[in-house]
Each structure stands twice: as C-alpha cells, then as structure tokens.
C-alpha cells in the first residue's frame, strides 16, 4: 500500500485511467469526471468501490458519493480513506453475576 499522499494520488489516478480508459495526462484535479471525461454516476461508484478494495478504505458515505464530481474530489475523498477501515463497534454486553 502506498505511503505518501503523492503515491496514493498517483495510484488512484492510474486506477481511473485504467478502469475508465482515459489517458492519465487528461486527468487533472479540476476536470469533471462526468462532463469532461464522459463518466456517469455508475462509473464514479465503480471507481469508489475500486478505491475501497485497493486502499483498504472504509465504505464511503452517500454524501461522499454525491460529492465526487471531479478528479480532485475523487483523490481527496478516496485518498482520505486510506487505511481507515470501517470501525466495528463492540456489542454492548453487560455481564451480570447470578446470586446463589
């Protein structure tokens, strides 16, 4: 797994290029995934799912999915999840001793 933010961004940019058949040179932070690169919401969802797998990231919230419109958004959102797997809350269990 990449350690630096630059390495993560490079890996994510490569992922977009490879999965969506886009030249890496065309992927600038300001470019719109939808308008500039012709992707649809399903493509963006697929990219986020790939990032979850590749980076060991936790699941993305609905709000994060909706906010992912540009390449820069994708790098910020997906890169921000690096290594942050979903935390499981321990079950609330109370141990009660029985009286004899």
Task: Give the pLDDT confidence of 46-73 residue by residue, as tens digits.
Answer: 998 898 888 776 778 888 888 999 999 9
Least confident among 3-12, 34-43, 44-53, 81-90: 81-90
Number of domains in the chain: 1
Which residues are 70's β-sheet partners?
A: 32
**pLDDT of the residue at 96:** 44
Among 45, 52, 61, 46, which residue's Cα sits nearest to residue 1? 52
Task: Give the pLDDT confidence of 8-25 residue by residue, as tens digits.
Answer: 899 999 999 999 999 999
Tell whether 32 is covered by a domain: yes
89: which DSSP letter?
P
| H or E element in which residue 48 lies | helix 41-55
Kindly report the CA angle at 39 between 33 and 42, in degrees rounded to 5? Answer: 110
Distance separating alpha carbons of residues 97 and 18, to the nearest angstrom:
59
Instruction: Quote the domain boundaries for residue 44.
Output: 5-80
Tell whether 86 is covered by a domain: no
**pLDDT of the residue at 89:** 38
């Amino acid at each position: 797994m990449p350690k630096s933010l630059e390495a993560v961004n490079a890996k994510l940019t490569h992922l977009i290029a490879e999965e969506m058949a886009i030249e890496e040179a065309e992927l600038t932070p300001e470019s719109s995934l939808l308008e500039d690169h012709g992707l649809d919401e399903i493509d963006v969802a697929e990219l986020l799912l790939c990032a979850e797998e590749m980076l060991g990231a936790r699941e993305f919230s609905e709000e994060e999915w909706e906010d992912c419109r540009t390449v820069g958004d994708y790098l910020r959102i997906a890169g921000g999840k690096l290594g942050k797997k979903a935390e499981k809350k321990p079950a609330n269990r109370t141990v009660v001793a029985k009286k004899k």
